[in-house]
Amino acid sequence: MVDTPARAQKQERRVEMVERELMGALREVAVAAGIDLIGATSAEALPVDEGDWWGHDQPRELLPEARSVVVAGFSIRYEPRVVPSEPGKPRGRFTPGGSRVFQQMERHCWNVVGDFLAAHGYRAVAGDRLPIKPAIVRAGLGRYGKHCVVITPELGSMVMWGAMATDAPLVDPEADRPIRAEICATDCRLCVDACPTGAIAGDFQLDRSKCITNWLWGASAAPELRHHQADRMFGCGECLLACPYSAPIPFRLAYPVLTDKVDDSPELLPLVAGDPDYYDRAMPTFPVRAGQDAMRCNAIIALANNGDPAGVPALAASIESQNGQVRAYSAWALGRLGGPEARSVLERAAERETDERVAAELRAALR
């Protein structure tokens, strides 16, 4: 039988209808499983922000036969479990950025989506290095805010995302719905003004070297900015919390997975001193991705900002670290705490230090 334009067009409509039904069924399953937002976009190459933290894998680098990228999001606006500091027992703070829930919910998203597609004969490969923000926007789930984070109409910016490349030919019936033009009003500067370090350099422009969240992943923080970290151990989120689209979102009370049973305010002294047992007990799963040295650096800055002189013995231990950044931060922290004991530790460290960057921090601390 000879194909005619009319027959080919009819076949295309039939394929599109099947694809739409598949996406609709996936959305129903996802929502029932506790996933708040889900969409899909094509597996064509996604724009890359070279300054992004995760690095980048394009969809077809993960799965050569990929035809779609599925993005799934969930609210992470929860009420922190905070324990206040006491004299001799200073504490840090994990901010509401998914620290206790992200890892588990991300894997839950991957499992729900992957199992559904496998049951329909398709493959799906999870990717935590996919350019996630462009995928979210191209799937029609949100658009960039001035703080360079995606804002969704439903949940504001307080959303964590997982993504998968799949050979399923998904067509999201809602992917082309209009995202409200006023989602980031031209005269709104709440996120810009809320940033402690001025990292939001302009509308839709982020200076990552000043972003607290960036350096809490292990990037080096300039000495003149470290006091802005306050007692934060991981995540900042001030720009997200200030966003008028996020502020009215209620705290999420339950998740379909078991979350980390830890406080959001770990003790700083054992983390600074490098106690591995306490690290394993106190650290949520998600921040572990940053590495133990990065978390130790974060604890050192938080301890210095707390100002408790009980931190000097722990810093005397951390300034012996093999990691240069740990030693540099320890020198700065001892200078912040001050006192004869801190000065004695700094003088001994200065005599043996061979790393010029650390030596410069020691000289500044001694001054």
- Predicted confidence at residue 3, as pLDDT, reads 56
Q: With respect to residue 189, please indicate whether it lies within any of the assigned structural domains.
A: no
pLDDT-above-70 percentage for the chain: 89
* CATH code at position 321: 1.25.10.10
Asked whether residue 31 carries a pLDDT value surpassing 60, the answer given is yes
- Predicted confidence at residue 20, as pLDDT, reads 74
* Residue pointed to by tokens 């339950």: 254
Chain-centroid distance, C-alpha 299: 18
33 in the Ramachandran plot: left (φ > 0), alpha (ψ -120 to 50) or beta? alpha
- As a whole number of angstroms, the distance between CA 206 and CA 55 comes to 17
Sign of CA dihedral 163, 35, 98, 174: positive
pLDDT-above-90 percentage for the chain: 67
pLDDT tens digits along 131-141? 998 899 889 89
- Predicted confidence at residue 47, as pLDDT, reads 84
CB under 8 Å, gap of 24 or more: what pairs does 348-351 form? 349/319
| pTM score | 0.89
Q: With respect to residue 243, please indicate whether it lies within any of the assigned structural domains.
A: no
Last residue of a domain, one of 183, 210, 231: 183
- As a whole number of angstroms, the distance between CA 8 and CA 180 comes to 36
Question: Do 27 and 151 belong together in one domain?
Answer: yes
Contact by Cβ (8 Å): 349, 331: yes
Average pLDDT, the chain: 89
Contact by Cβ (8 Å): 216, 231: no
Q: With respect to residue 211, please indicate whether it lies within any of the assigned structural domains.
A: no
Q: What tokens were used for 85?
A: 């500091």
Question: Do 275 and 160 belong together in one domain?
Answer: no
Indicate the pairing of strand 124-126 with strand 159-166: antiparallel
Contact by Cβ (8 Å): 100, 78: yes
Helix (H) or strand (E) holding 126: strand 124-126
Between residues 81 and 150, the one the model is more confident about: 150
- Predicted confidence at residue 196, as pLDDT, reads 96
Question: Do 125 and 25 belong together in one domain?
Answer: yes
Question: Do 179 and 306 belong together in one domain?
Answer: no
Q: With respect to residue 198, please indicate whether it lies within any of the assigned structural domains.
A: no
DSSP for 224-270 reads GGGGGGTTEEE---HHHHH-TTTTTPPPP---SSPPP---SS-BHHH
Task: Compute and round to an integer the Cα radius of gyration of the chain.
Answer: 24
150 in the Ramachandran plot: left (φ > 0), alpha (ψ -120 to 50) or beta? beta
Q: With respect to residue 107, please indicate whether it lies within any of the assigned structural domains.
A: yes
Q: Is 200 helix (H, G, I), strand (E, B) or coil?
A: strand
Question: Do 174 and 309 belong together in one domain?
Answer: no
Question: Do 42 and 170 belong together in one domain?
Answer: yes
- As a whole number of angstroms, the distance between CA 220 and CA 297 comes to 9
Question: Do 34 and 161 belong together in one domain?
Answer: yes
- As a whole number of angstroms, the distance between CA 52 and CA 214 comes to 9
Question: Do 13 and 153 belong together in one domain?
Answer: yes
Q: What tokens were used for 335?
A: 């200078």
pLDDT tens digits along 168-189? 999 765 565 555 556 787 788 9
The region of weakest confidence among 10-19, 253-262, 308-317, 334-343 is 10-19
Q: With respect to residue 196, please indicate whether it lies within any of the assigned structural domains.
A: no
Last residue of a domain, one of 159, 183, 207: 183
Last residue of a domain, one of 183, 210, 230: 183
Q: With respect to residue 214, please indicate whether it lies within any of the assigned structural domains.
A: no
Give the model's confidence band at 78: pLDDT under 50 very low, under 70 low, under 90 confident, else very high: confident
289 in the Ramachandran plot: left (φ > 0), alpha (ψ -120 to 50) or beta? alpha
Q: With respect to residue 153, please indicate whether it lies within any of the assigned structural domains.
A: yes
Q: What tokens were used for 47?
A: 């724009």
Contact by Cβ (8 Å): 253, 165: no
The region of weakest confidence among 36-50, 108-122, 176-190, 204-218 is 176-190
Contact by Cβ (8 Å): 67, 169: yes
Question: Do 11 and 158 belong together in one domain?
Answer: yes
Helix (H) or strand (E) holding 124: strand 124-126
* Residue pointed to by tokens 């889900």: 38
Domain hosting 317: range is: 266-366
Contact by Cβ (8 Å): 291, 218: yes
Asked whether residue 67 carries a pLDDT value surpassing 70, the answer given is yes
Contact by Cβ (8 Å): 40, 70: yes
Please state the domain count of the chain: 2
- As a whole number of angstroms, the distance between CA 64 and CA 61 comes to 6
- Predicted confidence at residue 113, as pLDDT, reads 97
- Predicted confidence at residue 118, as pLDDT, reads 96
Mean pLDDT of 305-328: 97
* Residue pointed to by tokens 């004695």: 344
